[in-house]
A and B are shown apart, each in its own frame.
Chain A
Amino acid sequence: MRVSLLPSLCLLALATAALACAREADRGAQLLAEPLPADRHLSFASGGMEFLDPAKVAETAGHHLMMNVFDGLYVYNRGDGPPVPSMAQAHEVSADGKTWTVHLRPGVSWSDGVPVTADDFVWSWRRVLDPKTASRAAQLLWFLDGAQAFNEGAATDPETVGVHALDERTLVIQLKNPTPFFLDLLCEMPYVATPRHAVEKWGDAWIHPDKIVSNGPFLLVKHEDRVVSELVKNPRYWDAAHVWLEKISVLHTESDQTAFDWYEVGKTQWQGDTSLPVDRAPSLRASGRPDFHSDPKLCSYYFSVRVDRPPMDDVRVRKAVNLAIDKERLALHILRGGQPVATNTVPDLFRASHGYTPFAGDAFDPERARQLLADAGHAQGRGLAPITLYFNTGEGHRLIAEFVQRNLQENLGVQVQLANMEWGTLLKTLLAGDFAIGRSSWCADYPDPLTFLEVFHSQSKANYSGYKSAEYDGVLAAIQAEPDLTRRNVLVRRAEEILNRDMPLTPLYHYTWSYLLRPFVLGYERHAQDVHPLKYIRWATPAEWARIRRGEIVHLPPLPGGQ
């Protein structure tokens, strides 16, 4: 009797998958049976941080740690609510939206007891912009009047930067344009205050745990590079009464597997900013474990399409390529992380904050794609040389590229060659414009649709497509100058329409962020920029824990923000 190998193998694979799922389900029950920790000590994993100095922090790991040590005028809310006043008490905006007057909260002080003044903010922001500081994050301050010229070295007088102290507690900020998201910017790291008296006393060494002076909810008491950082509650923090955690340990690792192991053996309560191990992610997703979460993120994944290179210089070919990719199937079978399909570059996350409904671009339509390609004179891909798709090393990128390659072959008859390269090499290729299709992505610099649209400005360095449209640039300028949100949304939509018409990109999907978090940890709420201040974190109360164990979901609402 012949036994066919294939069905048996499939059965085996299915059985293994079922077993893995059963194991994950057991694990879920185990997690809900855990007792509440007796101490107020949170541990999580994090990649190594490059800098601690808030003037220089420009990457996730450093940001996650230091935003709990330094406070700005405003701080991020718990979840997707508007920013909450912290060092500031209130602010007023002028009618043209360009002058902000911020009043500091009375009685706020540094951890050494010295009062925090308006002057501290002026000095700190100028320090970030000083060319000698060479801060990567300086660009986030370019929204201030005169900031760019001072940062470039064209102006040398710091007084030309649009931030001045009216008195000890009043700060006057001059902006280049009306900036509706300026309140969100005020929460960013380069906008926090740094202690002038400590920096001037210690120089670069001021940031070491034995010398550091800060004004945030937590104090940095230990930092061993690539090993561990420790924070403890700051008793002098103005809102200390509402800070629940006593101690935080950040265990550094670059390995997703190690971070996962730490979480599974209970050494950490949150997986931190590390990713789920690639081989475990699908079974974790399928398991319905109570500690598994997948949140949408303000990031977009797309292909840059070089608009000045045959055959992609023909907008019909660019449109055909976009129409021929079945993005729903891509999300469902390849990405498998609940990623929303992208028909344009702006993620659908601005409804609550801006009242903005994104423009729905072209959806999958192979029939129309074939027609457009035929109109361009390439029916069934005739007369088209193989198109090269460049992507950087990464299993996910490869799978996506292969999926697109198959789609274009099957739906259009277009041959696609894949070219895999290391990120540095790909970026060089993209910057040089020496490609037809290249993998790109963009994550929001600030929570506003403009950050995604600006990528395709003719002067933008990240505009790898070589797309130059005076009309589009004009709409962007109008968005920047428009103080009224409703009228601004109309302009944003107009910009999206132009992009969908000219197709300098092939949008694929918007990101989600999957992570593990012990079910008793509350106050970690969904946030589009993936920011979760630790001052809001606490364990569930016994009553809440009982509810969570029964399968209820307990959320802590956002705080009243704004003024």
Chain B
Amino acid sequence: MARYLLHRIIAGFVTLWVVASLSFGLMRLAPGGPFQRDKPLAPAVEANLRRTFGLAADVPSPVAGTLVRFLVQPGQHLAPGAAMAEIRLQNSQLARPTATADCEVIALVGAPGRTLAVGDPLLARATSGWEQYRRALWSYAHLDFGVTYASEGAETVMATLGRAFPVSLELGFFALLLALLLGVSAGLVSGLRPNSWLDHLSMTGALLAVSMSSIVLGPLLKLIFCVQLQWLDVGGWQPLALDWPHVQVKILPVLTLGLIYAAWFARLTRAGMLEVVRQDFVRTARAKGLPERLVVLRHAFRGAILPVVSFLGPALAGIVTGSTVIEQVFQVPGVGEFFVTSAVNRDYPMVMGTVVLYSSLLITANLLVDVLQAALDPRVRGDHG
């Protein structure tokens, strides 16, 4: 078992590295860039921003003299050996320093007539993807995702996620609790009394909830309880605040997120139960004369819950990182929003932060689920007779 666990953990890290590298590559392939807003920025302003994030570097002048003119334009691609500018040296000769490596020009520094010393910046160039990747992986390994572009360096990705994650975690925890309690019990009842009115009722409810996505259910609940009846409020979520003014904003998001997963759990539990109660070991348990309560709870339940447990992995990660839609509708300041906004805004560090967070959660949740499954089902452990 320990060996299996170790194997899984190593595989987990490899997966994480692959996911991070792929997202890094895909992100750079996407057109546009983080500093493109409604209005294009002046090249010098963009260069200043890019320098803060390691996306630009200075090209120093190799000679001293007076700048006569630039031979390149911002946005131009430079091949090694291409002349960058004309500089009049002290001895009145003209020098034309050339580029040493492939790069893109972001901005020209200063105007003709400027006096240059050796090492003074001449151009700002874009750093290459490989330079950025090396730098990024090194800091990711130290759990440092850098600063978000959205805050232009004022806040780190970890601080932003650190503030948003507890919110999503709380929403997810209560939603999962609701989903499990409601879903599993409804599924059990249905599975034990198939085709009874209780079964029909809970399965119709489940079908409704599964078919109704949160984008319908959320606004509908909000319209009824917040706008029409005005019983509940929207916005102002504080993690761990459990007094009424704060609880009232949490009820609907938890309900919306929880109901949909409850429906899935109910259907899975019912299916599991129907399958298990027909199996030999349950019949044996009954034949031994065990009371029905014990048959169900001790024998059948463990088998019936297995599909729920396997679904728990992805569900856990999905629930905890929050549903983007629900967070939007109910104004919950969780992680969900960043999945969308950071990608749209090309906030590279934030995208990487959320991707790595989600992947680690998914990997950990799946690992936990496998361990749990092994504990529940001897067949998975592979150590049965």
Contact = CB atoms under 8 A, between A and B. Distances in A.
Interface in B187-235: 219, 222, 226-227, 230, 233-235
Interface stretch (B38-46, B82-90, B276-284): B38-46
B331 A258 contact: yes
Interface stretch (B147-155, B290-298, B362-370): B147-155
Contacts of B160: 225
Contact of B230 (A148, A255, A258, A265): A265
Interface in A131-167: 131-136, 138-139, 142, 148-149, 151-155
A228 B154 contact: no
A253 B163 CA distance: 17
A351 interface: no
Contacts, number: 128
A265 B227 CA distance: 7
Nearest to B328: A255
Contacts of B81: none
B318 interface: no
B227 A139 contact: no
- Main SS of the interface on chain B? loop
A258 B135 CA distance: 41
B235 A258 contact: yes
A149 B40 CA distance: 19
A134 B163 contact: no
A53 B155 CA distance: 12
Interface stretch (A86-94, A213-221, A236-244, A423-431): A423-431
Contacts of A131: 48, 51
A394 B298 CA distance: 57
Contacts of B40: 427, 431, 461-462
Interface string A248-284: 0001011101100110110100000000000000000
Given A51-B154, A251-B235, A254-B337, A424 B30 contact: yes
A518 interface: no
Given A262-B235, A424-B30, A461 B43 contact: yes
Contact of B154 (A132, A204, A254, A257): A204
Contacts of A133: 48
Contact of A151 (B33, B38, B48): B48
Interface stretch (B95-103, B108-116, B260-268): B108-116
A425 B31 CA distance: 5
B16 interface: no
A136 B49 CA distance: 8
Contacts of B233: 267
Nearest to B160: A225
A226 interface: yes
Contacts of A139: 41-42, 45
Contacts of A53: 154
A50 interface: yes
A530 to B, nearest CB: 14
Contacts of A424: 30-33, 36, 344, 346
A261 B154 contact: no
A152 B44 contact: yes
Interface in B56-106: 58, 75
A204 to B, nearest CB: 6
A227 interface: yes
A200 interface: no
A395 interface: no
Interface string A444-486: 0000000000000000011000000000000000000000000
A426 to B, nearest CB: 9
Nearest to B235: A251
A254 B107 CA distance: 34
A226 B32 contact: no
12 contacts: A51-B151, A134-B52, A134-B153, A139-B41, A207-B154, A227-B235, A227-B236, A253-B235, A254-B328, A423-B32, A428-B36, A461-B40
A-B pairs, 6 with minimum CB distance:
A424-B32, A154-B110, A226-B333, A152-B44, A461-B40, A134-B48
